[in-house]
Structure formats: structure tokens, C-alpha cells
Amino acid sequence: MDLTPSPLARPFPALPVIDGVTLRVARAGYKAWNRSDLTYVELAAGCAVAGVFTKSACASSEVEMGRAQVEQGRARALIVNAGNSNAFTGYRGREAVEQIVAQVAEALDCPGDEVFVSSTGVIGVPLPKDKARAGVAAVLGAESCGWEDAASAIGTTDTFTKGAAAAAFIGDQRVELAGIIKGSGMIAPDMATMLGYVFTDAAVDPAFLQEMLSKANEATFSCITVDGDTSTSDTVLLFATGKAGNAPLTTWDDPGADAFYAALHDVCRELALLVVRDGEGAQKFIEIAVTGAADDASARRVGLAIANSPLVKTAIAGGDANWGRVVMAVGKAGEPADRDRLSIGFGGTWAARDGQPVADYDEAPVAAHLAGQDIRIEVDLGLGEGRATVWTCDLTHDYISINADYRS
């Protein structure tokens, strides 16, 4: 596996300390590698939690348990295993997760359903219980570490570590948010699940925390795609320790709720875009802005149809302003569209308007835009007020090499 950083990589940013969050990493040895692969996050008592999970019908035991655990709204610990996704492993996989939960819950003297577990890596191999037990024992006694160590330990085929931060005022109280994420395909189930974790010291009621995370997810993580292949393990968890001491947020009407949501949205968006920037084989970052759709949800589906089209993605890889392929992708999306109202542009230059090529279309500025690394495709459906922005990367020879030439 080639771990040369993606040409679209970003350096790891400075992330704030979040009061009530302690990070530790250790080496369980889930694969034959010389690196930390087990991450433990200890959370202050009373920490609120919210989560969004893959919609896969074949989700892992970790996801199944996480979906149930998040209902009660509180978390004391997070364990992340890297190198083995433990997906499609039947009762043996389930037993491994239950063992980890019991071991951590005993150490913290907390209910088992407050211990969250994620796993990422090869599919179809039950997580080895002996390695997990020894690894958890080691990590419980490890020194605390910083964000970049944790972001690195949760990674698998990621070519760079990924984090993001934001802050907001709730009343007079400044609150901090810090997030880490891993992923380099929207999913490659034997190597590249997307796992994201956001931590804040804000005090937020769990039900409202879930409402905000679900809303932010719709506009960020749910608007990215690398290859259209949805993971069996995708998970985003949001932990709010409450240590900032603000008046707890419970509804959108609370002072500071909008500011906190904006900061949360920013962190989620940045984390999501970092995953696209590490998309397998990516050479170009592509933003697709859809306007004039019947509604926002329709705009998002049209955007994702474009973002998932191998013909659009290869055209961008080749620097080809092939707007005919964008027309094709709009047409196949299954959403309301009218050929004769459709307009398509690249980087601010319309190539086609109202169902026809622009008469005096000058391809020079478009070619210059497409020669760059950050590409923007504009699509106006001319029907209504619905809009959405989605993000993807191009489809290159390196994607084929990573996924075909490499024999797992």
C-alpha cells in the first residue's frame, strides 16, 4: 500500500483541549504492523452523546450496538479498533464487542451501554478476542496523548491524519469543538470505512445533540462520495462533556444554539471534505453546486448522481469540460428535471444554458479552471428553489491500482 500523502492532503491543524476528554492509544496488533491501532477516549461522567450510522442492511455488530446504545444519550468511553472491521463475522464478532464493552465498563464502573466501540479494517475476520483483551488492558493504563496521535491510531489506509476544530459562544461562555476522522473511500469495506468523532465541552441535552448532529450530517457527511460504495461500518459520534459550564442547550430557541450549530456544522463539513481529499487515487477535489431543484433533497440526489458518475469523474480527471456527461448524470438521477431549462457551468462559466450549448461559449477559462486542483461544477435545474452542494474527487488510474492491482 502506497502511503504517499494525497496531493490534496492538508496538514493536521491545532486542536483545542476539550475538558472532560482524555485520549490514549496502544498497540493491539490487529495487523502485523508497528503502530498504535487501538484508541481509547475516556469521557467525563454525564457526557452526552449523539450518533449517525451507516444505513447498510449488512452493518457490523459495532454499528448495531451503537445504534441501540445512543438512544440512552450518555457515554463514558469510546474504543476504536483499526485493522479489522469485525463486519460480517456473526456471533463471534458480536462476542468480541461485548467483551470489550464489559472490560471497559468494569474498569470505569459504568453501565455497558455507555461504552461505544467502532472497528475498521478487513471484513469477514472476527476481531481476535485475545488481542482485544490485551490491547484494552494496555490502553487503559497508557499515558494520555494528543489529538494527532489519536487521529493517526484510528486510520487504516488513510494517507494523512485528519482533524478540525471550531468554537462558539453560548451566552458568554466560549465552548470548543474538536473532531477527528478517518476514511479514504466513502467506503472500501476491507480497508477504508469512514469513522468520525467530534468532541465538545459544551453542555447539550442528548436529544437536542442528536437533532443537531443529524441535521449537520445531512449537509456534510451525507453530501460526500468517493466511489458511491457505502460502508458496513460508517459511524459519526458526537460527545458533549458539558465541562464548559454553559446553560445546557435543549432547543433551537436557546441563546447560543444557532452559534453552536454553526460551529458543529463547520467541523463536520471540514472533516467530511478531508475524507474526500484522501479519496482513493484522488488528484482533484470536486465541488458540485446544484440550484433550481424542486427541493433541497432533490438537489442533493442530483448532485450525488453527478458525483458518482464514473464518466463525469474520469472527464474531470482528464481535464475535459465534458458537460454532456453532466447532462447524462442529471438525466439518470430519477429526479424532476427539464432538459430545456437545464444549465451547466464549470468554475463560474456557463457551458450550456436552458438546454442548449452557449452560443459564444469560450472554453479557454473553463480549460484553465479544470487544469487546477479545486474544481467546481455548477448545475441549475431551472425548476424551483431547492439547492445542495456535494463533494467528490476524480476517478483515476490510481483508484484502479489501489483496488484491483493490490491483492488483499
325 to 22, 316, 388: CA distances (angstroms):
49, 10, 19
For residue 81, the minimal CB distance to its own copies (Å) is 16
- Single out the catalytic residue among 159, 161, 193, 349: 193
Would you say 32 or 57 has its CB closer to its own copies?
57
Would you say 168 or 330 has its CB closer to its own copies?
330
DSSP helix/strand/coil, 369? helix
For residue 331, the minimal CB distance to its own copies (Å) is 3
How many whole angstroms separate alpha carbon 146 and alpha carbon 103? 24
Taken as a whole, the chain contains a residue count of 408
List CB contacts of 188: < 8 A, sequence separation 6 or more. 157, 227, 229, 280, 403
CB 311 within 8 A of CB 320: no
For residue 194, the minimal CB distance to its own copies (Å) is 13
Distance linking the first and last C-alpha atoms of the chain: 10
Beta strand pairing status for 349-353 and 343-346?
antiparallel
DSSP helix/strand/coil, 98? helix
For residue 177, the minimal CB distance to its own copies (Å) is 30
How many whole angstroms separate alpha carbon 79 and alpha carbon 65? 13
Among 288, 316, 309, 282, smallest CA distance to 390 is for: 288
CB 234 within 8 A of CB 12: no
Q: Name the grid cell of 325.
A: 456527461
Among 91, 84, 99, 102, smallest CA distance to 37 is for: 84
For residue 334, the minimal CB distance to its own copies (Å) is 8
**Is 396 annotated in the active site?**
no
Sign, Cα dihedral of 311, 392, 223, 149: positive
For every residue of 247-283, DSSP letters joined together read PPB-STTSTTHHHHHHHHHHHHHHHHHHHHHT-TT--
- Residues noted as catalytic: 193
